[in-house]
Amino acid sequence: MSIIDTLVTDRSLADVQLWQTLKALGWGAMTPDQQALWSSGAMKGAYNASDLNRVIEAVNYLTGVFQSYGYAPGVSQQTADWSVGQTPTQSQMQVYLGNVQALMDALAEVQFSAELPQSMALLSYAGANNIEQILVELDAYLTAMGGVFIRAGMPWAYAGNEVYVAND
Q: Is 88 a member of any domain?
A: yes
What tens digit of pLDDT does each residue of 51-81 get? 999 999 999 999 999 999 889 999 999 999 9
CA separation (Å) from 127 to 39, 97, 119, 124? 24, 11, 9, 5
Closest listed residue to residue 16, CA positions, set 44, 37, 41, 57: 44
**Predicted confidence (pLDDT) at residue 162 exceeds the cutoff of 80:** no
Q: Is 161 a member of any domain?
A: no
What tens digit of pLDDT does each residue of 78-136 get? 999 999 889 999 999 999 999 999 999 999 889 999 999 999 999 999 999 999 999 99
Q: Is 165 a member of any domain?
A: no
- Give the range of the structural domain holding residue 143, as residue numbers without chain letter: 3-150
Q: Is 38 a member of any domain?
A: yes
Q: Is 112 a member of any domain?
A: yes
Q: What is the DSSP letter of 112?
A: P
Q: Is 42 a member of any domain?
A: yes
With 0-12 / 13-18 / 19 or more C-beta atoms within 10 angstroms meaning exposed / middle / buried, residue 143 is: exposed
Q: Is 9 a member of any domain?
A: yes
Q: Is 7 a member of any domain?
A: yes
Question: Total domain count for the chain?
Answer: 1
